[in-house]
Amino acid sequence: MKKYDVIVIGGGAGGLTVASGARSLGAKVALIEKEKHLGGDCLHVGCVPSKSFIQAAKEIHSAKEKATKLGLEVSGEVSLKKINERVRSSIDVIQHHDSDERFINMGIDLYKGLGVFTSDHTVKINDDEIYGKRIVIATGSRAFIPSIKGLKEVGYLTNETIFNQEKLPKDLLVIGSGAIGLELSQAMARFGANVTVVERSKTMLSKEDQSIRNVAGKLLEKELTFLLDSDVIHVEKRNGKKIVSVKKNDTLTKLEVDEILVAVGRTPNSDNLSLTNAGVTKNEKGYITTNAKLQTNVSHIYAIGDVNGKFAFTHVAGEEGKTVVQNAVLGIPKKMNYEQIPWIIYTDPEIFHIGLTEQEIKEKGITYSSYEVPLTDVDRFVADHQSDGIIKILTNSKGKIIGAHAIGKGAGDWMQTVIYAIKHGKKIGDLSQMIYPYPNHAAAIQRTADIYWRDKLFNGLLPKVTKKYIKWFR
């Protein structure tokens, strides 16, 4: 039986971070991946293909919109086959960075197959059984499929299958209005599908700040039909169409669609690991519970990424991977901090989120100030004719940033400065002291921070003092 310092189960973002990091520090590493290629869901059915998909939709939408404004008529149908060929080409380029050869050349032993625990230190892959001093579970998640009568029999799409489609549905029903649901819904609508989104909650984007939700709702409703506070209770097939029964309160509505996309959340890939053989526990939803150092209840076994249920983001899995390398390989205690996790929803315009929302601040009873600017006040967005959106920065009583939110063109890029400021404990006033080359999009941050200084300088004692100073000495 081969023995390793670290066994990593799962070759996605988190697992690859641990494997490469541990090996770079001199550890003997085994990496187990059940799929044909490394890279995980993010590369093959998640972040990468969806962003390529979304970009194609933006280009088509922009071309149609600009042509119409210039008096040109645009006609014809989009080839979903061609679009998904482009998606796969993006995956192929990035796959090179996550190739088997790259990790094998690092000196990592790569095993292809399903890794199953046989004890708390041993894992079996096909006919091989290996031993690990430390074991890291990084098996990710998959689309959660709700129990809806007839859904399985009629068939449906998920983020794992939509990028294999060749024919664009004329009418598409999307179940769920989270990030995946909204991103793919908008893209499909821009390709030419009539898209209806069904959401059980009374609002979409429930984790976002109310100001952002208000703007996002108005913009997305221009392209999508929303049925909020509603449930899909039955699906059947009739004359080649899918008949979907949607219930809101006591009212039942039947919709005739060509295809259904399920996007109601994720479920962890923890069910085929034989965790009981290792004594590892998981919660009622299947997520493996961990402490702040990402240890499971078995201290030498760690769980990172989607499978631990903290945040289902690739960048979080990567950060967790770095934390585990320090804890498991170097033995230097480090806790994972989830208070400063940013995320982006790649609708058009993009939605950016970091820290607390205004609602959460109120619930916590924190004394705060809110600084909000519409992008119509920022010259670059006006010049681009893309000024839909707002930026909102929330601070405590001392001016320290405790939350920042934006919706606007490229918000995920130009809000990066705020992430740095929060990470280093900077105050909103510090953001005003930077020089912003005119005219750039990040000037939205400057305009927001300037409000803080105007309130501070011109509504307090200072104007009275300077008035006397100017009168007597200047």
Q: SS3 of 428, please?
A: helix
Check the annotation: does 263 bind a ligand: no
Predicted local confidence at residue 399, as pLDDT: 94
Distance, CA of 78 to CA of 276 (rounded, Å):
50
Predicted local confidence at residue 46, as pLDDT: 87
Is pLDDT of 418 > 60?
Answer: yes
Q: What is the pLDDT of residues 112-155, one digit of tens each?
A: 999 999 999 999 999 999 999 999 999 999 999 999 999 999 99
CATH architecture of 151-264: 3-Layer(bba) Sandwich (3.50)
Q: What is the pLDDT of residues 45-100, one digit of tens each?
A: 888 989 999 999 999 888 887 777 777 777 778 889 899 999 989 988 888 888 89
Is pLDDT of 471 > 70?
Answer: no
Which are the contacts of 266, defined by CB distance < 8 A and separation ≥ 6? 141, 142, 143, 144, 306, 312
Amino acid type, 229: D
Contact (CB, 8 A) for 256 and 168:
no
Beta bridge mates, 2: 130
Q: What is the pLDDT of residues 226-263, one digit of tens each?
A: 999 999 999 999 998 999 999 999 899 999 999 999 99
Which are the contacts of 57, defined by CB distance < 8 A and separation ≥ 6? 186, 187, 188, 190, 191, 348
Distance, CA of 309 to CA of 139 (rounded, Å):
12
Check the annotation: does 72 bind a ligand: no
Q: How many CB atoms within 10 Å of residue 429?
A: 15
Residue bearing the bigger pLDDT, 294 or 467? 294
Check the annotation: does 461 bind a ligand: no
Check the annotation: does 139 bind a ligand: yes
Check the annotation: does 265 bind a ligand: yes
Q: How large is the C-alpha radius of gyration of the chain?
A: 25
Q: What is the pLDDT of residues 314-368, one digit of tens each?
A: 999 999 999 999 999 999 999 999 988 999 999 999 999 999 999 999 999 999 9
Say what angle helices 462-473 and 443-458 make with each other, to 10 degrees: 70
Check the annotation: does 46 bind a ligand: no
Amino acid type, 146: P
Check the annotation: does 335 bind a ligand: no
Burial class (CB in 10 A: 0-12, 13-18, 19+), 334: middle
Check the annotation: does 141 bind a ligand: yes
Which are the contacts of 63, defined by CB distance < 8 A and separation ≥ 6? 74
Burial class (CB in 10 A: 0-12, 13-18, 19+), 91: middle
Taking residues 455-460, report their average pLDDT. Answer: 67
CA distances from residue 440 to 378, 416, 471 in whole angstroms, order as listed: 9, 14, 39
CATH fold for the domain made of 349-458: Enolase-like; domain 1 (3.30.390)
How does DSSP classify residue 348? S
Distance, CA of 43 to CA of 98 (rounded, Å):
9
Distance, CA of 322 to CA of 153 (rounded, Å):
43
Taking residues 377-396, report their average pLDDT. Answer: 96
Predicted local confidence at residue 232, as pLDDT: 97
Query: CA torsion sign, 228 to 169 to 41 to 141?
Result: positive
Check the annotation: does 306 bind a ligand: yes
Check the annotation: does 182 bind a ligand: yes
Predicted local confidence at residue 468, as pLDDT: 66
Contact (CB, 8 A) for 167 and 80:
yes
Same CATH fold, 349-458 and 151-264? no
Report which secondary-structure segment, H or E, holds 353: strand 350-355
Check the annotation: does 177 bind a ligand: yes
Query: CA torsion sign, 357 to 362 to 363 to 364?
Result: positive
Q: SS3 of 391, please?
A: strand
Which are the contacts of 366, defined by CB distance < 8 A and separation ≥ 6? 356, 396, 402
Spans of all domains in the chain: 2-142+267-330, 151-264, 349-458
Q: SS3 of 54, please?
A: helix
Pick the CATH number of 2-142+267-330 from 1.10.8.60, 3.50.50.60, 1.20.1050.10, 3.30.565.10: 3.50.50.60
Check the annotation: does 179 bind a ligand: yes
Q: How many CB atoms within 10 Å of residue 154?
A: 19
Contact (CB, 8 A) for 369 and 356:
no
CA distances from residue 89 to 13, 48, 302, 343, 356 in whole angstroms, order as listed: 20, 11, 34, 26, 38
Contact (CB, 8 A) for 149 and 236:
no
